[in-house]
Structure 1
């Protein structure tokens, strides 16, 4: 066979194998036996080996994964991949329907789709050929994972139409593949994946595409990235049928609903039947069908007003509290944690659940030995819902918080206005090690290789007692640590040295001053320019700065007034650690996450976070926490017993989240 004949045969084989593959993987309707497919594929491989220039990018042979890559490039999406607002009960759904009909009239249809628990991706095609695939990222910028997405057999490399189009979808790992993968990892002594979502995300972020190719991933396409009207389409359901026609796989377990009652019936059905599916779902997505109605409703800064996601209630299971352990954080807060009999909740094994504070334990009357109900708040954080009192045998032991620190035996105190017990001994070893762990963390000094175990060992061996001691470490000292070879020691010393030149805001955040989060550290660093000027600042000067409140100002003044802190700054300077602002920072742009650029109000009692912790984390993501609700307020976080602020928010039609939604967004 000469080259001209070979080229013609390669083209024929590509088309034939592509059609057979689509029938097998996408339509689940095999047209030929596996042996016939394999025979044709082997013929194609032989021809490509003879004529390498005939290996086309969309050839079926290119799905096995190429050579490893060094990193993933950033990709700016053609249009933002917005997240959806969430609803949690029938009342929420009816309120959503009411808002939709108020904005777009009563002639409304909804498309209800299964909410696949996977990784959102954007797939771009030019002249009908797959050219780029990216993760959602922050919604505006994602990572280019094209090489790995090419290995997903249900993603067509060539469409049935030579068009330019971008589609969005969810890549997932079927339950069967997930369990098989974990069995293999267990046999090899490797860490198991927590759930199919993590397995899918981890597979697509492998730098070696051969690993992604071996994971048997799948995809459902759920929409077109740009306006569907540009393809002559008028409805969302019509667009799903269109992308099916040109070669994509969609989820057929969807329904066009003409009323909210039909929506509720669809939800009830799948809430009952979800376990029968071969893949994980965590809710139902509800979208207004007609594009004209979508245009009438528009968007918020974060999500479309014409769509929402119903989240299934958190799975609740029963287990036993075997013990309650105490831990001391870097700010001295003593936190009780329930040690549980291992139990599977929402796809992961749970053995520990935070009890937060003494008041919560007393309020829920949780005792050692109790049978308890646990769930994952927002399907993320394990929490104890309640004790099952009627199953008590009399052997259960009430738990009393200690009066002395479990790490240093100092008196514990409860500061006025706080529910937590706190150790105020600055030499408490638990606080010191937790503070060091925070100091080296990614958002602070970012010293790679200094994990929790290494920090604890360095402290235990007497090699470090404060932040400045890190910069005195030698390669020889580090090599003497457990599991630390010469190369690892060299890399760690190099990482410590590199951190000396970090800009001031990283160091300031790393110091762990109460109420000073990442955003506050950046604002202060930009304003004062040097640590020395900040140390000399008065409370009056601090509160004049926009976004610096009295609590933060008091905390900063008290911190730098301490003689030991002033001496620490001197030691850091002696070790050539930069104490000035150099302008190297990541700017959190409006729209980069759910909080950036937003004015947010906290009201009511939060269970998982203190008000200060919630404010710190929101501000670290670019949000501004305010004390009052007005027309300029973008969002209200309402905890238990929320009062007048919640009422005003509802009156002004301000978006309101509960703590579960807050935690979900903070942990994205």
Structure 2
């Protein structure tokens, strides 16, 4: 929607009136579905956008605002299925802000109000995570729970006492003594993230529609008419505030939390009292980085003035308190249409379903595909092709389809059926062994999809690190310009194998390779490209060279600058250390950690090939599963041909022992977290391993040292909790040089 411009006359235009009426209707309908039917029709981000637009129009056209405007209401309506109850003290909503700039304005305004009262030295900010759950009000009289109710419209809620009593964290009788004669305790009921996944699987197995998200699962569970059904749901609760408080002795929010804990009530571990705005920003940043490490879902941070006296002085508007605000993180969940479910064949033959969706922007990027892992996950999530789905993307994490929005189904949706044959080569699909969940294409040698994925993998940063050999280049090398057997712009992709029929020949692309046959054959590789005019697509497509330049009347076709870079990068890859060569072979289960351990223990490819399964399994970080996978891989003749071909091309197959580096870390386990100034993550691991140490990726009681760089996260937190030795980069350098001494 376009931004509202201030009206030049006193009467809002007809367009503004119509937009306002439609917005009012939409916001009411979406709010009712969210609060009363526990079935959201739009994502939180879309609802927030519509609501803010409504507020904007009302601010510029106050004559449109009616008493029943959605902006003048709190929460939802009270369901007729439950008895209505009046709260002793109103349950307010919180003002939402969506940027740090808006938060700074809010903080500045509240600070100025406190300063006018001459009480600035008393101002502290209690900051806590905003639980994405259902607000509940618990009424205790003389320490006994007499009622539990939902927020409802803020004044009147729904009596859910019998259901709330099934939540084990909610005590019937408060512990300790000196309880107020009457006190309302507010909090959020939620379902822990891991328990939510298990619950949805149970729902689908029982033939029922899955929940869209944990918040609605919690709300739906509390609104069951039979408390026995509620008791079967994995509900939890954290309390975070109070309403009516007759006789309460605490003078601040934080003191109240201490008191609530003493009474046996569940309080959140995720809060802190802070002195400044800068500290609040660090708190927001920390939980923004770790929001998915918590017990439950969060969608922001709540910042409250801690002192009750200051809270009373700041007061309330008609809808929100002036002493609290909710900072909302950028949306990580949106709704979009699931157009299809297709499958991808990976480098080890594993067949993985993935969703193809209407493109949608989430977490800062446009997403149109998301993994669905395997056929059991598709079934467990309960998604159908044609569904509107909840899509989540957290930062750089792979996009995930959370589940369907069942309320929007119209009957045209259909189930996904896993293919019986490989979509790339037609080979019948089957599990690798009995009991495996995943199904695989057994045609490892000649399946075009598997070859493409292996070539892309061997060029990756964790393997040979070949720049200029990305996903599209791997496709062009192995099987043409598009996913087999897709069409591009209405034109069929070139059929048949590409110029690279197996990865054994990859080093024939090297700049100094004596035989230039493979390099010259790249001139014939063409891909479909849309013709463009003045920077825009024309809708017309043409076949153009991929690796060579397009010929003109004056200049013949020749290797492009990027292709020449590819030749140089393949040449450089020959000198990569042994562990990277092992990773590049795409041996199942053999990743960077195991490869480093093997390279350190045996020193050469020949020694690894000659080792027994028992000798391989004895290596720290390898074990019997990886050892078996190695022996199985080297037992295949065409696998050995790849290694032999690479060796013949000059690829390094043994590591030189650097006698200049003393074994200062013999027997020590070191974890590196965060960014170091003078070491990349791989270089730091290399430095540890070459000095005899173990470079671990996880922190435990067995960890000897944790090296913490910039933006160290949860690993540093865990190290501090365990009381481990923590080093900065300077300390790390000293450890490498002298060991524990």
Q: Please, what TM-score do these two structures have when normalized by structure 1?
A: 0.46
Q: Bigger radius of gyration, 1 or 2?
A: 2
